[in-house]
Amino acid sequence: MEDATPFGELFQRLARLDEIDMRVGLICERLESVSDEDAVRLLHEAHRGASLGGTDAQSVFLALGWALFEPRLAPRRPEFGAAARRAELHHVADFVTLPLEDDATAEDNRRVPDFGRGRPLTLGERKSLARTHDRSLIQRVVRDPHPDVVRILLDNPSLTEEDVVRICAARPNHPTVLQTVYRHRRWVVRYRPRNTILRNPDTPLDTALLLAPLLRKSELKEAATSSELAPPLRLSCKTILEMRTARSKPPAPQGTDG
């Protein structure tokens, strides 16, 4: 991982930590201890490193995204966003600024699955079913639109990656469901779930932008031209793709003195 930045030593230390929770904790400590301006510089450098495609840098940035949702840091996100705007680091402001809440929830448009009981199940009953190891029932629970049901299901040891992709691909979807999957340590270390979250237009913009630097070039290209995605997300994917493409080009041959 590149260290030619003011935070290079910190990024190297983070990359060496095996425990994800330790990474998140260290990031929280550093962001709590610095000024808003220095925090924005740290966020910018971490985003740049991940955008260039380094594996260690992307692991650090994934942990940084989780850190921004920690209760100890969430109240400072508006301050970070304002400082980023002042520094004209608008890409940082976009991913640290919490999106406006939409009063109309997607759950109103998604039907609770039929569990074959001859009546609608209560939320408590559906939450209980989220703990089942019966694969036939899990196939129904993955279609449940309620974030609390999904939160329990994500901890179910019988859940598979394919199940999680189905949860994330559902449309319409509840934004909180998609954000719940993003914040789950077990699943978003995997590529397919995070790519599916980003590609869902119901994903909150800040969450999608935090995932953009973690995509491969082929998926960045698709997202950059997708009419389903918000313009700021398409622009972010396009910019990251250009950065990565420019880095992969061989240097131009230098002239010789003669």
Extents of the domains making up the chain: 8-96, 106-248
Measured between alpha carbons, how far is 211 from 230 in angstroms, rounded to an integer? Answer: 14
Range with the poorest average pLDDT among 41-55, 74-88, 108-122: 108-122
Asked if 185 and 20 touch (Cβ cutoff 8 Å), the reply is yes
Question: 10-35, pLDDT tens digit by residue?
Answer: 999 999 998 999 999 999 999 999 99
Whether 258 has a pLDDT exceeding 70, the answer reads: no
Cα end-to-end distance, the chain, whole Å: 38
Task: Say what the pLDDT of residue 4 is.
Answer: 54
Question: 95-117, pLDDT tens digit by residue?
Answer: 999 887 654 444 455 678 877 77
Q: Specify the pTM.
A: 0.89
Question: 144-200, pLDDT tens digit by residue?
Answer: 999 999 999 999 999 999 999 999 999 999 999 999 999 999 999 999 999 999 999
Task: Say what the pLDDT of residue 247 is.
Answer: 81
Whether 226 has a pLDDT exceeding 50, the answer reads: yes
User: What residues have CB less than 8 Å from 239, skipping those under 6 apart?
Assistant: 51, 91
The CA–CA distances, whole Å, from 143 to 66, 185, 208 equal: 25, 21, 21
Task: Say what the pLDDT of residue 250 is.
Answer: 64
- Nearest partner of 212 among 189, 190, 240, judged by Cα: 240
Average pLDDT rounded to a whole number, residues 67-74: 95
Q: DSSP E strands: which ranges in the chain?
A: none
Asked if 130 and 141 touch (Cβ cutoff 8 Å), the reply is yes
Mean pLDDT, the chain, rounded, equals 91
Q: Which two tokens stand for residue 149?
A: 């049901």
Measured between alpha carbons, how far is 194 from 237 in angstroms, rounded to an integer? Answer: 14
